[in-house]
Structure 1
Amino acid sequence: MATVQTISERQEAGKLARERSPRSQNAMIGNVDRDPVQLLRENSAGRVDALVPLRYGRMSVSPFTFYRGSAILQAHDLSGTACSGIRFPICGDAHLMNFGGFATPERQLIFDLNDFDEVAVGPWEWDVKRLAASFAVAGEHMGIDRGSIDDIVTTAMQEYRDRMHNYAECSALELWHEIVTFERMIDAAATSEGRQLVRRAMEKAAGRTHESMLGKMATENNGRWTIQDAPPALFHPGGPNSLLGDEQKWSDTDEWKGKLAAAFDSYLMTIAPERRQLIAQFELQDIAFKVVGVGSVGTFCLVMLFIDSHGKPLFLQVKEARQSVIARYFDADNPAHEGERVVNGQRLLQAASDSFLGWTTGPAGRYFYFRQLRDMKIAAEVERMNSTILEGYARICGWALARAHAKAAGKAIEIAAYLGNGGRFAEALAKYAFAYAAQNQKDYDTFMRACRAGKLEARSDEDMAADFRV
């Protein structure tokens, strides 16, 4: 059995970590001597060829959407920086849009990290830097003045520090059961406008259910439900609107159905027995390919529609899991199965995870993980926020990230000791955020020149949708 260190020993270990990585050095952006276009091409390898232009099209909208889709660049750059040596499964893509609200299995609405495609063992600082820079990039895109952006980033970092100090005083079980609920967010809101926004978000979440989605995504004919094609974002893999190409062999054959059934049976063995019993009460109606997000565009993602005997739906999302950009640039032990990596990391970092979260190996040896497509899930409308509201949102994100790290690492004491009680770390991260926002702008400009020169093809959703209109 493991030997448990004393609190004073753990505090000393955190302070010693400053020798490996002085807090002021967190302002360094790392190794940016690379070709962003080449790295993006490498990151697009193995995706659906016809959807890669859509990925670039979504990234081209603004420096902020580019930042969201280019996690590989920041991971590369951070690999050239010093780190504290405190490592554990981190989110890997903790930018401000990868936080949101969703329902726990007990139907409690909570705020937490909600994207784990890049989760892997890595330095905790990389998550914090990804978050800090995202506020600087978004703030500049929104036209917020530099002084206010500095306040926003500093607020997020100070909240992370203060919450980590609080969590350093919690027992292991207290940390494991810690949840950031929307009720707690209302209590923590600094303004009446902030409290009102949280309440409106709760009302919106209540309406985002499987039933509300059924009529929007599918139609019924003689008791059978069919998902409606809406290319390029939603289409049947073997249908006339498919973008997968003949080489993917997505024909509606018994052989392929058998492979999908085997993959689904394998998935069922990764969830709890009572969840398997629950799924057994539903009948599969249809499967479609769904394009999601910015960074995930071009990866294989399916939607499975199930209906129970009362005609009520269950939508499961089946999402491809590829090598994490964190694992590419930070050497550590991670599960060999990429779907298992995502699921294990999500279960460890989140306060409460999806009841149907599991993994499988699909046809052609691709790795996948399962989750519900929508279950009271909501995301912040960041671009509609003013600087005051964005600062409040930054505080909540800093809180949620600290909670996730404290739970996943079991090293809140060490991280808190490294951070200290002063402002040195927050000051360094504010400098980092502005410096990386400038680097992101350079990379975006290089990317856009490549698109205009025809080196990369970028197409919008509207442009690609026009290909299917008669």
Structure 2
Amino acid sequence: MAVVQSLKERQAAGRDARRHAKRSLHAAIGNTDRDPVQLLQENSKGRVEALVPLRYGRMSVSPFTFYRGSAILQAHDLAGTVNSGIAFPVCGDAHLLNFGGFATPERQLVFDLNDFDEVATGPWEWDVKRLAASFAIAGEHMGFNRGALADIVATALHEYRDRMSQYAEYSALELWHEIVTFERMIEAAVTAEGRQHINRTMEKAASRTHESLLGKMATLTDGRWIIRDAPPALFHPGGPNSLLGHEQKWSDTDEWKGKLSAAFDNYLRTLSSERRKLIAQYALHDVAFKVVGVGSVGTFCLVMLFIDSHGKPLFLQVKEARQSVISRFFHGEGTPHQGDRVVSGQRLLQAASDSFLGWTTGPAGRQFYFRQLRDMKVSADVERMSSTILRGYARICGWALARAHAKASGKAVEIAAYLGNGNRFADALTEYAFAYAEQNQKDYDTFIRACRSGTLEARSDEDMAADFRV
């Protein structure tokens, strides 16, 4: 049995961490003596070769899209910064667009972290710093002045501090069942504009279902639903529009489907028995390769379309899980299977997770995890937000991150004691956010020069789509 410390002992441990990790030291951005292009090229190894230019093309749109796709750079830099010594499975990529709304298995709309490709044991401060910097970088891209941006960044940090202090008083079970619903978000909103924005988002989420996706994404042919090719973002692995290359043997459809079937059976073994019975009521109609996001472009990602006897769909997404950038630069407890790492981390950090979350090993030893493609999932349209709405969004992100960290770590008492009631940590991280935004701009400029010189090939979705037009 574990030895449970008293609250006083835990609070003392949190305050004691300030001795070796002064809160003011969090303003430092770390070790930036590296070649960003080289690190990005290393991070692209093992991806679908034909899709790497698309990854760079999506990253080249703005300093913020570059930031989204270059988590490896910040992880490298953070390894040279101070931390409190409190480590646990963190998101690893907690920028502002990796939060969003989705439905729980009980059909309740909640707001939470929603991307866990980089989840790994690491310092909690790394998540908070990635979030803070993302608001500074996105806000600068949107043209907000420094004063407004400082207020937005500080809002997220103050909310994280205040919520962590609140969670330090929760019992273990109370914290485990804590959930940020959209109804609670409306109650917490401080402006009428904010409440209206949340209500509109709820309406949008309600329309984003498997059924609404079916007609947009597939065609019924002779009683079978077939996913429509839309290269480069969506194509059949063994079809004429495939970008996977012959060396992957995807063109051998029968061989590929046989391997996929075995991998799917292994995935089912990671689900609870009632979930397996649920999936058994569906028949597989089609499978296609789907390019998603920015940082994930070039990794193997499939979408599987299932239909039940009523003709209703279920879309499952199968995403490749690679080594986390966090585990590359911070040595903590690891999980041998990368898909298991993502699933376990997601279940630990989220208040409620996807019913179909599971993992498997696929062809060529690649490791994958499964989740639903769409289930009332909705993300923030940040670039259309006013400064008032973005500040409200920052508050909600700070709340959600504090809840996730408090649950996953069981260390809310220690973290809250370390943070204290003042502004030292928030002031330091606001300074960090602007300093890292400047570093991100330098890295972006270096990246763009590499694209223009031909060192890196960058192509847009439109450019690549033109290759398939007759």
**Gapped regions of structure 1 (runs ≥ 5):** none
State the SS of the aligned residue for 1:110. strand
Q: How far does residue 253 in structure 1 lie from its aligned partner after superposition? A: 3.6
Q: Tell me the CA shift for residue 45 of structure 1.
A: 0.3
Cα deviations by residue, 1:275-303 (Å, 9 ceiling, x for unpaired): 00000000000000000000000000000
**Which whole-Å deviations, capped at 9, do the CAs of 1:391-447 have from their partners, x for residues lacking one?**
000000000000000000000000000000000000000000000000000000000
Does 2:124 align with 1:124?
Answer: yes
Q: What TM-score does the superposition give when structure 1 sets the normalisation length? A: 1.00
Distance 1:269 1:175 in 2: 29
Whether the aligned pair in 2 keeps the contact of 1:321 and 1:338 (CA below 8 Å) is: yes
For residues 249 and 466 of structure 1, what CA distance do their matches in structure 2 show?
A: 25
2:225 is aligned to 225
Matches within 5 A, 1:142-291: 142-291=142-291
CA deviation after TM superposition for structure 1 residue 257, in Å: 1.6
CA-to-aligned-CA distance 1:166-196 (integer Å, 9 cap, x gap): 0000000000000000000000011001000
In 1, Cα distance between equivalents of 2:434 and 2:316: 39
Structure 1 residue 222, shift from structure 2 partner = 1.3
State the one-letter code of the partner of 2:307: I
What letter corresponds to residue 298 of structure 1 in structure 2? G
Deviations 1:254-313 (A, max 9, x none): 332211111000000001110000000000000000000000000000000000000000
2:426 maps to which residue?
426
In the alignment, the residues of structure 1 paired with residue 463 and residue 253 of structure 2 have an alpha-carbon distance, to the nearest angstrom, of 32
Please list every run of 5 or more consecutive structure 2 residues that lacks an aligned counterpart in the other structure: none
Contact 1:232 1:461 in 2 (8 A): yes
CA apart distance, 1:252: 3.9
Q: Tell me how far apart the structure 2 counterparts of residues 183 and 315 of structure 1 sit (CA, whole Å).
A: 27
Q: Determine if the alignment matches structure 1 residue 62 to structure 2 residue 59.
A: no
Residue 306 of structure 1 corresponds to: 306
Letter in 2 for 1:354: D
- Following superposition, the deviation at residue 82 of structure 1 comes to 1.2
User: Contact 1:20 / 1:85 at 8 angstroms: preserved in 2?
Assistant: no
Mapped to 2, the partners of 1:129 and 1:74 lie a distance apart of 9
Which stretch shows the higher mean deviation, 322-331 or 11-20? 11-20
Q: Which residue is equivalent to 2:381?
A: 381
Instruction: Tell me the CA shift for residue 143 of structure 1.
Output: 0.3
**1:105 counterpart residue number:** 105
**2:238·2:253 contact (CA, 8 Å) conserved in 1?**
no
Rounded to whole Å, the distance in 2 between the matches of 1:456 and 1:190 is 46
CA deviation vs aligned residue, 1:96-142 (integer Å, no higher than 9, x gap): 00000000000000000000000000000000000000000001000
Contact 2:321–2:339 (CA under 8 A) maintained in structure 1: yes
Determine the C-alpha separation between the residues in 2 that align with 1:100 and 1:289: 24
Percent of residue pairs identical:
81
The separation in 2 between residues aligned to 1:317 and 1:252, in whole angstroms, is 22
- Secondary structure, in 3 states, of the residue corresponding to 1:19? coil
Alignment match, 2:51: 51
Q: Alpha-carbon deviation of 1:42?
A: 0.2
Which stretch has the larger CA shift, 13-22 or 399-408? 13-22
CA RMSD, 1 decimal: 0.5
Question: Secondary structure in 1 aligned to 2:231?
Answer: coil
Residue number in structure 2 paired with 1:6: 6
Moved over 6 A (4+): none
Deviations 1:371-391 (A, max 9, x none): 000000000000000111100
Aligned twin of 2:459: 459
Distance in 1, Cα, partners of 2:289 & 2:17: 46
| Aligned partner letter, 1:103 | A
Give SS of 1:72's match: helix
**Contact 2:98/2:115, CA 8 A, preserved across alignment:** yes
- Is 1:23 equivalent to 2:23 in the alignment? yes
Per the normalisation by structure 2, the TM-score is 1.00
What residue number does 2:37 align with? 37
State the distance in 1 between where 2:255 and 2:143 align.
54
2:55 is paired with a residue whose SS is helix
The equivalent of 1:412 in structure 2 is 412
Q: How many residues align?
A: 470
Q: Distance in 1 between matches of 2:182 and 2:276?
A: 30
What SS does the corresponding residue of 2:378 show, helix, strand or coil?
coil
Write the letter of the residue equivalent to 1:48: V
Distance 2:454 2:80 in 1: 31
**SS of residue paired to 1:93:** coil
**2:83 matches 1:79:** no
Q: Secondary structure in 1 aligned to 2:467?
A: helix
SS of 1:73 mapped into structure 2: helix
What residue in structure 1 maps to residue 450 of structure 2? 450
Question: How much does 1:337 deviate?
Answer: 0.2
Query: Which deviates the most, 442-451 or 255-264?
Result: 255-264
SS in 1 for 2:187: helix
Q: Secondary structure at the match of 1:288?
A: strand
Report deviation, 1:251: 2.2
- Measure the CA separation in 1 of the matches of 2:233 and 2:266: 27
After TM superposition, give the deviation of residue 204 of structure 1 in Å: 0.4
